[in-house]
Structure 1
Amino acid sequence: MESKQLFIKYLDNQCTPEEEREVNKLLAQPEMLSLLHTLMEERDSNATGELTDEDYTALGKTEHWQRKVNQRIAQSVLDDFEAQSQQRSSIRLWIRYAAVFVGILLLGTGALLITNNEEQNQNSLADATQGTTIDAGQATLTLADGSVVALANLKQGTIALENGVQIEKAEDGSIVYSIKDKSASYLANNTISTPRGAQHQITLPDGSKAWLNAQSSLTYPIRFKAEERRVKMTGEVYFEIAKLQKQDKSGRVPFFVETANQEIQVLGTEFNVNAYTDEPAIRTTLIEGSVRIATNNGVDNVLLKPGQQALLTEGFIVKTCAVQQEIAWKNGDFVFQGESLDNILRQLSRWYDIEIQCPSHLGNLRFNGMVARSKPLSTVVEIIQSTNKVNIKLEGRRLIVTD
């Protein structure tokens, strides 16, 4: 079978497992990667009929493929949650409209709490039951000259002008780069970092967008090279990659994301990477488009489709996942579907900046639920406690779980 026909089958979700492995091998060749880019662009163009090249930048409109994928994923997640809760109308609205709506948390088999949530995420998270306040830090930007800028207290406007690149804080608090001098250096790097209890959004010099979860970092050049775009990350980051054409029109400029143990090759897409060092595996979840992931030693690699997740430990394991659960943090929520207490506590530790003490046999307990991340720690603690599965108390900055 010709490579083009094989790629078309892949884009139509008609490949056999053997054919998918062949696609993965082909994409190691630059000319084959370019061919897949071309076919994806043809699909986008035929599907919409109205979009121009400008629509495919990070400032453009939502594409036809993305809408279809999101609808499919949303329906899948909706079905999962409807099987777990009688609050179907509330959950349906949350899934379909992604409103900033609630503190809803369903844990164990019977506890359900629904409250209004109009407050914004604060730099201070109060624990009402303990009478203490947990202070979250703020994101910082390390410039090419080594100076560090605290972002939360900065006013809207220009932060710095480095090597012909203007760095600004936008009205929504995100960081935006714009190239003012095309002779700007490719070697100058910036790093944005978030501590526990904080997250931040950035628009990269190529127009791509990234959201950093708590205790994460992203290092990138203030101007990308013409032949490729490459960034390094730790922690958890959600990416929306701008689709840029090469100068010779031979295909898209590839985008690479490096973590400590893997490299992700991006084919114009949206995806989430969870690479915290205290997690049992690196999780890469694909929302839209396609990504190819390889271990840093080159021994193992996989190709993901929308709705799939790659788990990296000794090697890759690919599975279909509940996408909304993986990206809920970006929308300001915790979402748990059959999550172990260990995993839940790690998330709470990073967000509320606390230490955890939990026996291993209790860490294996499973919970389902949703809660807004703007809620105080006491809300989560009280509802987990209400399931009567465990006892939890907060002593200073330590959360202690017992039978």
Structure 2
Amino acid sequence: MTNETEHIRQLLQLYVTNQATDEQVRELFLFLQDPANDAVSHELVSRQMSEEAGADKRFSESHKRVWENMLEANEPLSKQWQKQKRRPVVMMRWVAAAALITAITTFVFVNRQPVPKVETVMDIPAGDNKAVLTLSDGSTITLDSAASGTIARQGNVNIIKSANGEVRYDSKGDAANDEVMMNKITTPMGGQYQVTLPDGTKAWLNAASSITYPAFFADRDRKVAVTGEVYLEVAKDMSHPFIVDVAGRSGIEVLGTSFDINAYGDEGKIKTTLIDGRIRMTGSTVILKPGQQVVESADEPLSILTDVNIEKEIAWKNGIFYFEDASLPLVMKQLERWYNIEVLYKGPVPELRINGKMDRNLTLQGVMDFLTKMGVHYTMKSRTIQVTGN
């Protein structure tokens, strides 16, 4: 067994036991989705099946049933499986391998249920790098279609789009005396983007989010405003505090740090999760430490959660859906934003708790196939999904 094969075997073991990190999941996805690796993939999965069967017969049989259900939801693999029925000796091994590869591109889940009938009309691709830059004069630039290079000028500051699509600011001469020129980057539903602010701070915007900032930080305080969800890696500058205004609520004073702000208006709460460094909630004595999360809402006092799952909170930035005991409405809100769809409910909302990780590059149908097996009944027409009660 080569070093690479052994490495993939270890990743597979971590994945099936739900211990893989986001980066490990993505690495495994890329390997298993490459047709050039089919032979190795099938061998590794077959070996995994054999090990499970030897360790616990019931556990192995349960996995076989789950993988067969997943296979039924994938038409190309299902057709190939029908051909393999004529070869009973290798059939079950092939089914396990093919179905796990399907599972890798859908989800690890806990509660398996019979597959309801669904009506689908079209598939919808995953979101992508899309955003609009609004300049101080109100003019706009569609960033995803703009050519790389200098795309605008604000006083003595050039705004540059790099070859990888990231936007950054480059001051020429003394920009400190320039008129304050506010810029804003907004991502639509189905979009995400990354920008390096004039001070070197890096910002990642999730779908349906925005960040507003000056083209040059001339004041003592570096002030920005955010909506939606934004991950920030703040450039250290102790003489110029970094202040974040969040949807008109408590501001955040940053002391050189990395953190995530989730402030979607339709969720009713603002969550600020600290990854590294320190942040202070303005107007209070609360100072967050790494691994802590402060939660605010209009009708509840500010609360602090300790030992939060950092990997889950910033999984979106790493291209992963990560659900941990999540309600179906919470899951569907994320899908609404990322796939630019509308979700409606008819009858009682299914009381399901969703657990697991999934690549955000999947099409909408890939995600809904998983939810179908969780017992979700739905119909889809154009960009509208209607979920029906149990």
TM-score, normalised to structure 1, is 0.67
Where do 1:121-270 residues align within 5 Å? 129-133=120-124, 138-184=130-176, 185=178, 187-246=180-239, 253-260=240-247, 261-270=249-258
Distance 1:307 1:238 in 2: 15
Letter in 2 for 1:317: S
Aligned-residue offset at 1:227: 1.6
1:159 aligns to what SS in structure 2? Answer: strand
Aligned-residue offset at 1:327: 0.6
> Larger radius of gyration, structure 1 or 2?
2
1:392 corresponding residue in structure 2 = 378
> 1:349 aligned to 314, 333, 336, which one?
336
| CA-to-aligned-CA distance 1:338-387 (integer Å, 9 cap, x gap) | 01111101000111111111368535421101111110101111111112
2:311 aligns to what SS in structure 1? Answer: helix
Q: Tell me how many residue pairs correspond in the alignment.
A: 292
Q: Is the 8 A contact 1:202 1:210 kept in 2?
A: yes
Letter in 2 for 1:143: L
Structure 1 or 2: larger helix share? 2
2:323 corresponding residue in structure 1 = 336
Q: Is the 8 A contact 2:106 2:362 kept in 1?
A: no
Distance 1:226 1:312 in 2: 28
| CA-to-aligned-CA distance 1:237-289 (integer Å, 9 cap, x gap) | 0000000243xxxxxx2101101212011010000000000013101010000
Where do 1:278-297 residues align within 5 Å? 278-294=266-282
Letter in 2 for 1:258: D
Q: Indicate yes or no: 2:287 matched with 1:303.
A: yes
2:191 aligns to what SS in structure 1? Answer: coil
1:88 corresponding residue in structure 2 = 14
Listed as ranges, the gaps of 5+ residues in structure 2 are 1-11, 30-104, 114-118
Q: Which moved more, 1:327-336 or 1:218-227?
A: 218-227
Distance 1:217 1:317 in 2: 25
Q: CA RMSD in A?
A: 2.5
% identical equivalent positions? 40
1:362 aligns to what SS in structure 2? Answer: coil
2:66 corresponding residue in structure 1 = none
TM-score, normalised to structure 2, is 0.70
Distance 1:398 1:365 in 2: 21
Listed as ranges, the gaps of 5+ residues in structure 1 are 1-85, 112-127, 247-252
Aligned-residue offset at 1:136: 5.9
Label 1:352 to 1:108 Cα distance change in 2 as closer, same or farther (>3 A). same
1:105 corresponding residue in structure 2 = 107
Q: Is the 8 A contact 2:124 2:363 kept in 1?
A: no
Distance 2:111 2:236 in 1: 45
Letter in 1 for 2:304: V
Aligned-residue offset at 1:87: 4.8
Aligned-residue offset at 1:131: 2.8
